[in-house]
Amino acid sequence: MKYAFFILFLLTRSALASSPVWLVETGNSRLYLAGTIHLLRESDSPLPAAFNTAYTQSSLLVFETDIDTTRQAEFQQRMMAAVSLPPGQRIDQFFSHQTLLKLESYLHARQLSLKQFNNLKPSMLSMTLTLMELDKLGVGSFGVDQFYYDQAQRDRKTTLQLESSQQQIEFLTSMGEGQEDLMIEQTLQDIDTLAVEFPLMIKSWREGDTAQLEALFIEPMKNEFNAIYQQLLVQRNQNWLPQINELLKTTDTEMVLVGCAHLIGEDGLVDQLRKAGLRVTQLD
């Protein structure tokens, strides 16, 4: 189960090489849906050409959240408060003896101690461990959303967001509640495969290979962590659909950038918009 990748991407089913960008049309209105990866390597540049096509033709860019706000110290303070355990709780209280032994062994091999993470909620520990391993692969210095947000600022294009920064904090910090032991167990398993599977994921994403992405990440998440799947993907997609439909009522062309997992599968935005009768075409 690829729980670790699900953290990063907190496509139709065709396996033919294409791109992770779709054109959505209704009447004379149109917008682009761009499936992003939030964290990439410098070597993953340049991005697929379809992103630039969508960006050039769009006057408004819509992101999951306000990226500028997430850079501010006030946001970082709110995030740290939200991911910290309340007084009297320790992180080791959430894990079975077996999982705790595996976790301590993993940390010891990296000259770390569980005490260093003692006040973190398990969801934040999972994200921290994953990001530590990705950093070793050079991941984290570049991302699609950040790239186009900065480009839009330089070009003075209008930017909006689908949800508030506080909503993002709440989604992330409540992730895996009630399944903390399984979450860390799976995170430790996934970390062992990152070096091999991260390049595979990037290749599938660049080529718009939705069938492989769905098989690798969406189906395992639905089967093993359905509560997280419902909370972080299905619920948010349903929250975003009315906003996307409102954008389609304007004469402007918009580019909506969301994590690629939000576009994949029967609950993804692509299938949901098609079911609503809109024309949705995957760009080459």
Query: Which amino acid is located at 80 in the chain?
Result: M
> 171: helix, coil or strand?
helix
The CA-CA-CA angle for residues 210, 215, 221, to 5°, reads 115
Residue 273 half-sphere exposure toward CB, CA atoms < 13 A: 32
At 42, give phi and psi (nearest 5°): -60, -30
Structure tokens that stand for 128 in this block: 């921290």
pLDDT for res 187: 93
- Report how far Cα 18 is from the mean position of its chain's Cα atoms: 20
pLDDT for res 2: 52
The Cα–Cα gap between 284 and 281 comes to 9
pLDDT for res 142: 84
How many residues does the structure list for the chain?
284
Give the helix, strand, coil percentages of the chain, each rounded to 5.
Answer: 55, 15, 30
At 207, give phi and psi (nearest 5°): -90, 0
Question: Among residues 280, 10, 270, which one has the least CA distance to residue 145?
Answer: 10
Question: What H or E segment, with its residue span, contains residue 165?
Answer: helix 165-173
pLDDT for res 225: 84
The Cα–Cα gap between 20 and 12 comes to 10
Structure tokens that stand for 237 in this block: 């997609």
pLDDT for res 6: 52
Sign of CA dihedral 92, 94, 97, 100: negative
pLDDT for res 1: 43
pTM of the model as a whole: 0.90
Question: Among residues 182, 207, 150, which one has the least CA distance to residue 17?
Answer: 207
Query: Which amino acid is located at 241 in the chain?
Result: L
pLDDT for res 80: 93
For the chain (284 residues), the mean pLDDT of every run of 10, in chain order, is 50 54 96 96 93 98 95 93 93 96 96 94 94 92 92 98 93 87 92 90 92 87 87 94 97 96 95 97 94
Cα distance from N-terminal residue to C-terminal residue, the chain: 30
Q: Which residues pair with 160 in a beta bridge?
A: 62
Contact between residue 32 and residue 275 where contact means Cβ atoms under 8 Å apart: no
